[in-house]
Structure 1
Amino acid sequence: MNRGLRVAVALVVGMAAPIVAAGCGKHETQATAAAVPAPAMKPAPPTPIDTKKAEVGGPTWDPEWDKIVELALPPAMLSGQVPHDVRRFCPAFYGMAEDDKRAFWAYFFQALAGAEAGLEPTVQAKHAQPEMAVKDEVTGHQSRTSGLLQLTYGDQKRYGCDFDWDHDKKLKIDDPDRTILQPKNNLECGVKILDHQLIEKHKPLLSSSGYWSTLRPGTVSYRVFAKQMTNVPAACRVAGGRKVASR
C-alpha cells in the first residue's frame, strides 16, 4: 500500500472509531460525541525528508500524527486571522475549505518536525546560544529542547502543555515514555505555541522573534525548514499553478 493510501485509511479509520466510556456516564458521553462529530480531515503529503527516510530507512512521519495536529487546531488557525505571510507557503490558504487548511497545518508541523528533529520523537538537544543557555523554570536545569518540535518543560507553564516533569525525571533522558517525548503531547503543545504567536500576539508566521529558529528568515535552520515546505497539499496552489517559495 503506498503512503498516500495508507495515510488516508489511517485518518478515515481514526475518525470512524467509536467512543466508549466506562461507568454510569457511558450513554451521556456517547450522546455528546454523536452531537459533536469529528471535523473533516485530509492526510498531508510527505515532506522531502519523510520520502527520503522511507527510501533509505529511518524514522518517518506517522500518519496518526496528522490527525493529532488537525484535531488540535483551534478555529482561529483556520480563519482569516492567520497572518498573511502564510501565503508564502500556501498561496490559496484563505480560499481553501477547512479540511484543506487542516491538511496544510499537518504538513507544516511535519516540515517543522523534520527540520527540528529529523522526525525522531526522542531527540534531545542542548544549545550553546546565550538565549538558550538558561535554566528551565520547571526543571531547574539548563534548558534542553526535546521531541519532534524541540520543546522545553518551561512550555508547560507558559502554554499549558501536557508535560509532567515529576513523572519524567524518574526516567532515562531518551525514554519514549517521557511525557515531553510523546508525539501527541509534543505536537499539541506546538499547536498551542503557534496559536499563541499568530493569533494572540498577532505576529507573522515567519518572525525573527518566533519561538522556533527554523521560522526565523535568514538563518541556516530556516533554509532547512523551507526545503521541507516544497510539497505542500495541492489545494495550496493558486489556479495558475504557482509554486510555493523555498527561500
Structure 2
Amino acid sequence: MVARRMTVFRDATLAAAAALTLLAGGCAKHEQPKPSPPAKAVKAMKPAPPTPIAVKKVELGENTWDPAWDKIVEEAIPASMLTTRVPRDVRRFCPRFYVMGPADKRAFWAYFFQALAGAEAGLDPTTRVRHTEPEVAVRDAVTGRAVRSQGLLQLTYEDQTRYGCDFDWEADKKLTPKDPEKTILQPKYNLECGVKILTKQIIDMHKPLFSRTGYWSTLRAGNPDHLMFVKQMTNPPAACGLHAISAKKSAEMRRLVATR
C-alpha cells in the first residue's frame, strides 16, 4: 500500500515538473526580443569637386568650403530632385543630368549649392547683409526687425514659416549677431533650408532652375549677380559632361581643399 502511494506521488511530481517546464518554455518564448527593424538604405554619395572660389581661398590660407557640407546637401536632396521633374535648364551646367545615377546627381547638387554659397556669401557661413533697396528693405515678419540675409545662402528668418526651415529666432535673438551658434548661421540648417526653397521652386511650382522670379538673384538669368554664380560653375562633377578644367587639375583642387 505504501509502495503504491509512493508510486502515485512520484507520478504526480513528474507530471507537475513537466507542466512547469512547458510553462517556462512558453514564457521564455513569449519574452524573446522582437527582431530589429531592417536598417534604412544608405544613400549612395560622392564628393563634389571644389569651386574656383573654394580653391582660391585655400591658396590664400582662408577658411573655405567644408567637404562635410557636401554631405549635408546630398542627404537633404529629396527623391524628386533626382528625376526628370528637374527643369531642363539644369543641362546648362550638367548636360548629362538625366542619364546620371543618383549618386552623381546628388554630387551635382552639392556642387550647385557650393557655387551658390560662393556667389551669395563668399563661402562664409557668418555673412550677414542688410539690404537698402526699397524692394527688399522690408520688415521681417518673424523678427519684427529689418530683414537681413544671413548665412551661406543668405536666408531670412521668414523662411522658417514660408518653407519649414529649422531656424529658431527665439533662441537666436539671445546671441550676438554673428555668433556661429545661431541656427540661421549654422551650415546644416542654412543649407537644408536652401534645398527646401529650391525644391519648392522647381518641383512644386514648376519654375525653371534659373527663373527671373526665383528666390536668389544670383540664379536669375539676366541679373548682373548671375555672373557671380556662373563663374563658380566651371568645375561641376565630371559625370555632368561639362568639365572646363582637366581631370588632373580637378584632382589637385580637391586635394588642396581636403588638406587645407
TM-score band by shorter chain is 0.7 to 0.9
**Superimposed CA distance per residue, residues 143-192 of structure 1 (whole angstroms, 9 cap, x where no aligned partner):** 10000000000000000000000000000000001000000000000000
- Map of 2:21 onto structure 1: none
Please tell me the residue identity of whatever aligns with 1:99: A
**Structure 1 unmatched runs, 5+:** 1-26
Equivalent in the alignment of 1:144: 148
The answer to whether the 8 Å contact 2:82/2:102 transfers is: yes
Map 1:73-84 to 2 at 5 A: 73-84=77-88
From 164, 168, 172, the equivalent of 1:164 is 168
CA contact (8 A) 2:143 2:169 kept: yes
Aligned partners of 2:235 and 2:244 also within 8 Å = no
Pick one of 49, 52, 57 that aligns with 1:53: 57
Aligned residues: 213
1:57, CA displacement in angstroms?
A: 1.6
CA distance in 2, matches of 1:214, 1:31: 47
Q: Distance in 2 between matches of 1:116 and 1:154?
A: 18
SS at match of 2:230: helix
SS at 1:100 equivalent: helix
Q: Which amino acid aligns with 1:77?
A: M
Q: What is the aligned-residue identity percentage?
A: 64
Secondary structure in structure 1 of the residue aligned to 2:129 = strand
The within-5 A match list for 1:48-197 is 48-197=52-201
Q: 1:31 & 1:147 partners in 2: Cα distance?
A: 40
Query: Which 4+ runs in 1 deviate beyond 4 A?
Result: none
* 1: CA distance, partners of 2:57 / 2:75: 26
- Using the alignment, how far apart are the partners of 1:31 and 1:191 within structure 2? 32
Q: Paired residue for 1:223, among 223, 227, 238? A: 227
Give the drift of 1:114.
0.3
Looking at structure 1, the residues matched to 87 and 175 of structure 2 have their Cα atoms a distance apart, in angstroms, of 40
Instruction: Please state how far the C-alpha of 1:61 moved relative to its aligned partner.
Output: 0.6
Distance 1:170 1:149 in 2: 22
Mapped partners of 1:151, 1:145: distance in 2:
5
